[in-house]
Amino acid sequence: MISNQNITANWVHVNEIVANLMTASGRAVGDIAVIAVSKTIDQTGIMAVYDAGQRLFGENKVQELLGKHTALPDDIQWHMIGHLQTNKVKSVLQTGCLIHSVDSVKVLRKMSGVATVIQRVQDFLFQVNVSGEVSKFGLAIDDVKAAMDTAMALPGVRCRGLMTMAPRLADDTALRRVFATLHAVREDLQRDYAIRLPELSMGMSADYAAAIKEGATLLRLGSAIFGPRR
C-alpha cells in the first residue's frame, strides 16, 4: 500500500501538472478544482492530503461518505460522485455535499422532496452518458432537456452543471470528443434556459489532460493521488 508521504508527493505532482495544462490551454488555473477521490482510502491517507491543503474529496459509496463525513474535519467539502439510489437520498442530502450523479427524474424528485422538508437547496449535476455505453449510468443526451425542465420546476434543487465518464480505453481523439460533447450540451442548456451552469465534472486519473483541454472545471482524481486501489 502506498505510504502517506508518497500520497502527499503525488498530490503535489498532480496539482503541478494540472496548473501546467491549464496554462498551456490558455485557461486560468483558478478555473478548475481537483476532487481527491478517496474511496477505500482510510482516514490517515485522507489526512495526508488534507494537511497539504486539499479540501475537496469525493466518494462513490453512500455509507463510506457518511462515515468519513462524520469522522473527518468539518471544513472538508464532500462530493457524491457514485450512483445514487432514491433510498439513500435523505442521508446524502444531510451531508451538504455536491451530488454529481443525478441520472434520473425519479432521483431528482426524491431530492426535491427531502430538500423541501429539511429546508435547504441541494446543488447537483446531471450525469450524462455521452458515450452511450450500457455499462454506465447517466441520462442520454436526448433526455437532458426534459430532465432540466423538471429540475427548473421543482423546489429545493439547483442544477450547477453536468458530469460524464469517458470510455476507459479511448484514445485522445475519442476522449476529447466525449468531453467536447458534454461542453456543447452545457452551452445549449445555458442558452435555452438563460441560466448559468458553471460546472463540468469530467476527467479522471487516466484522462484528465483531455478533459482540461475541453473545459473541465472539476477533476475527479483517485489513483493519481492515492495510488492503485486494493
How far apart are alpha carbons 169 and 139 in whole angstroms?
Answer: 21
How many folded domains does the chain comprise?
Answer: 1
Cell triple for 13: 505532482
pLDDT above 70 for 230? no
Q: Please say whether the beta carbons of 106 and 86 come within 8 A.
A: yes
Mean pLDDT, rounded, for 35-52: 97
What pLDDT does 1 receive? 72
What pLDDT does 169 receive? 85
pLDDT above 80 for 10? yes
* Parent domain of 18: 4-226
Task: Give per-residue pLDDT as tens, 185-218.
Answer: 999 999 999 999 999 999 999 999 999 999 999 9
Tell me, what CATH number does 61's domain have?
3.20.20.10
pLDDT above 70 for 184? yes
pLDDT above 80 for 7? yes
pLDDT above 90 for 11? yes
- Considering only CA atoms, which of 99, 102, 105 is closest in space to residue 122? 99
Task: Return the bridge partners of 80, or none.
Answer: 59, 99
Crossing angle, helix 144-153 and helix 105-117, to 10 degrees? 20
How far is residue 147 CA from its own chain's centroid?
A: 18
Q: In terms of C-beta density within 10 A (0-12 exposed, 13-18 middle, 19 or more buried), how is residue 7 classed?
A: buried
Q: Please say whether the beta carbons of 188 and 149 come within 8 A.
A: no
Q: What are phi and psi of 37, to 5 degrees?
A: -80, 110
pLDDT-derived band at 50 (thresholds 50, 70, 90) equals: very high
- pTM of the entire structure? 0.96
Task: Return the bridge partners of 37, or none.
Answer: 58
Task: Give per-residue pLDDT as tens, 122-153.
Answer: 999 999 999 989 889 999 999 999 999 999 99
pLDDT above 80 for 95? yes
- Considering only CA atoms, which of 63, 64, 96 is closest in space to residue 79? 96
What pLDDT does 190 receive? 98
How far apart are alpha carbons 101 and 128 in whole angstroms?
Answer: 9
